[in-house]
Amino acid sequence: MKRVSLALLALAATAPLQAQSLLYRPPNLGGTWVPDPGVVQFNFVHRFHVSEGPVDEVQNFPTFTFATGLGRGLALGWRFGTNSIVGPGRLDNNESEWFVRWRAHGVEGRDGFSVAVTAAYNELAQSGDGEIGVDYTVQRLTLSGAVRGMSHPFREPDAKAALAGGAVVRLTNYIAMSADIGSRVSPTTRAVWSAAINFLIPGSPHTFSLQASNAATSTIQGNSQALPSFDGSGSNQILYGFEFTIPLHLKRFAPWFHGSPKPVALGTAAGATVAAEVGMSAVKFTTESVTISAGQAVRWTNRDPVEHSVTFDGAEPGSPIIPRNGSYVHRFEQPGTYTYHCTPHPFMKGVVVVK
């Protein structure tokens, strides 16, 4: 037990930081995220419709996503939605989609291209589904696209493809606007779309969105077809709702079973003198500014029960996630002013001045 949790700790500590957040993915695109090993990703989309008439009735369209990282860019996941339109009878069915995702290239949220391939089985549609998702991120903009294939879309006998594209613009480090549009192809169906305003919740790894869409469930099939209008008029049926993304780091629960984790030392001074120490406690860098000479190193030590990072605002390579009781050493070669922040808590800021 102890050995397993230490192995998870080591894996999570060395894995790259990943976004998995609504600041990098429009609502109806699966994105290219893959959880780190030892992380269970829990996403919850809830859309609803209030029907007019003598009785105001709320119709709910929730979709839960659970996925876990297996390492090597692989994830195993399950989505569950209700009031699905992909099965027989329409709107009163539970939809279950199992998927395996492989991130073939890049890391979601980092500048450049990221590509993920997803293979899925939709139990309600009894269909083998697949998606190739591509993201391109440059600074505050992420463009996303997806090509989808479905062996029996909506239980129809013939295989069909669907295309979708969208964009996210990050107005600040905490707020983004996103939208997407898609359709099945040959023949093209009515466009399926969504639009959202997205928030990173300060002091947490969680994101939250407020959204509007004409899609019901958030599966490969559910994201590929517009909801039929409830009154049969053929008009566009708009649902409103929200999404929460919650990464659960299993090692965070280690204190339930163990005392303080053993210290973990990350980074290397490469023979240099550690000329300054910076603590991380109470979700702050204890010394906001340190001054060293070129060729010297700085050590950061995490005394908080939550994990932090040292992420430079410029090109200087930063730390991986620094766990509780972990430290990180970095040597500075060139004189300059190096501002940095913590990726999980962007309000944590500090500066290293190298003379």
- Residue 220 or 322: the one with the smaller Cβ distance to Cu ion is 322
Contact segment (CB under 5 A) with Cu ion among 161-169, 212-220, 246-254, 334-342 equals: 334-342
350 binds Cu ion (CB under 5 A): no
DSSP state of 319: -
Residues forming a β-bridge with 299: 277, 329
Task: Region of 32 please: left (phi>0), alpha (psi -120 to 50) or beta.
Answer: alpha
Task: Region of 146 please: left (phi>0), alpha (psi -120 to 50) or beta.
Answer: beta
- Residue 152 or 345: the one with the smaller Cβ distance to Cu ion is 345
For strands 326-331 and 264-268, give the pairing. parallel
User: What would the DSSP string read from start to end of 50-82?
Assistant: EE-SSS-EEEEEEEEEEEEEEETTEEEEEEEEE
Contact segment (CB under 5 A) with Cu ion among 45-53, 295-303, 333-341, 342-350 equals: 342-350
Q: Draw the binding track, 287-316, toward Cu ion (x: CB under 5 A; -: no contact).
A: ---------------------x--------
344 binds Cu ion (CB under 5 A): yes
DSSP state of 303: -
- Residue 107 or 342: the one with the smaller Cβ distance to Cu ion is 342
Q: How far is the CB of 155 from Cu ion (least distance, A)?
A: 47
249 binds Cu ion (CB under 5 A): no
Q: How far is the CB of 40 from Cu ion (least distance, A)?
A: 20
- Residue 133 or 344: the one with the smaller Cβ distance to Cu ion is 344
Our CA angle for 173, 110, 101, nearest 5°, is: 115
Contact segment (CB under 5 A) with Cu ion among 51-59, 222-230, 248-256, 338-346 equals: 338-346
Give the amino acid at 314. G
| Structure-token match 């539970």, residue found | 94
In this structure, is the dihedral angle defined by the CA atoms of residues 226, 227, 228 and 229, taken in order, positive or negative? Answer: negative
- Residue 85 or 342: the one with the smaller Cβ distance to Cu ion is 342
The span from the CA of 205 to the CA of 201, in Å, is 7
Q: How far is the CB of 303 from Cu ion (least distance, A)?
A: 12
Q: How far is the CB of 38 from Cu ion (least distance, A)?
A: 18
In this structure, is the dihedral angle defined by the CA atoms of residues 133, 134, 137 and 142, taken in order, positive or negative? Answer: negative
- Interacting residue with Cu ion among 39, 134, 342, 352 (CB under 5 A): 342
Q: Give the residue ranges of DSSP H helices in the chain.
A: 2-14
- Interacting residue with Cu ion among 215, 217, 345, 354 (CB under 5 A): 345
- Residue 215 or 342: the one with the smaller Cβ distance to Cu ion is 342
Binding residues for Cu ion, total number by CB under 5 A: 5
Half-sphere exposure in the Cβ direction for 349 (13 Å, CA): 5
State the residues that interact with Cu ion by CB under 5 A.
308, 342, 344-345, 348
